[in-house]
């Protein structure tokens, strides 16, 4: 469904990630697994964290997966969350989060194929094209 050039670009990105042993030297932690701006509740007056919702996908895994979803909230927000995260973060957490965010559209394509929802397939493919075109620059 992708052009040969698009496939090669994505394949190179996957290869770089998989070939870097540092990406697998991760201290697993309990993670939300679907953390994004929509699941964070802020107090309207103080603008402080009031809660985090939708924990049904919680699992033990790479904390960078949660930061991938937070990248859409903006770098200043992500950096403040990482600072509050304390000693649990590692040097590669944001790089891994960027990779996980970049492959996110793959899940949308697979979901669309699984349930026969062509609109999800198209959105996922467009997302892959957009993300990986940016990575090439």
Q: Distance of CA 62 to CAs 44, 59, 70, Å? A: 31, 9, 14
Dig out the tokens for 125 from the structure: 């493919």
Q: DSSP letter for 36, please.
A: S
pLDDT at 36 over 80: yes
pLDDT digits (tens, 9 = 90+) for 37-82: 899 998 999 988 899 999 999 999 999 999 999 998 888 888 888 8
Compute the residue count for the chain: 137
pLDDT digits (tens, 9 = 90+) for 75-117: 888 888 888 776 556 778 999 999 999 999 999 999 999 999 9
Cα separation, 117 vs 105, in Å, equals: 14
Which residue is catalytic, options 19, 20, 21, 34? 34
Cα separation, 6 vs 100, in Å, equals: 18
Positive or negative torsion for Cα 63, 69, 71, 74 = negative
54 is catalytic: no
Cα separation, 74 vs 111, in Å, equals: 26
Query: Where are the chain's structural domains?
Result: 4-136
Residue range 4-136 forms a domain whose CATH class is alpha beta
Confidence band, pLDDT 50/70/90 cuts, at residue 134:
confident
């Amino acid at each position: 469904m992708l052009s040969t050039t698009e496939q090669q670009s994505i394949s190179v990105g996957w290869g770089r990630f998989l070939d870097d042993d540092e990406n697998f030297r991760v201290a697993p932690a309990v993670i939300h697994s679907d953390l994004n701006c929509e699941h964070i509740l802020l107090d309207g007056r103080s603008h402080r964290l009031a809660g985090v919702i939708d924990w049904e996908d919680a699992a033990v895994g790479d904390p960078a997966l949660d930061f991938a979803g937070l990248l859409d909230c903006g770098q200043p927000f992500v950096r403040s969350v990482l600072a509050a995260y304390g000693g649990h973060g590692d040097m590669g957490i944001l790089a891994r989060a960027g990779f996980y965010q970049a492959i996110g559209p793959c899940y949308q394509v697979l979901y669309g194929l699984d349930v026969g929802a062509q609109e999800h397939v198209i959105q996922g493919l467009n997302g892959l094209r957009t993300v990986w075109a940016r990575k090439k620059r």
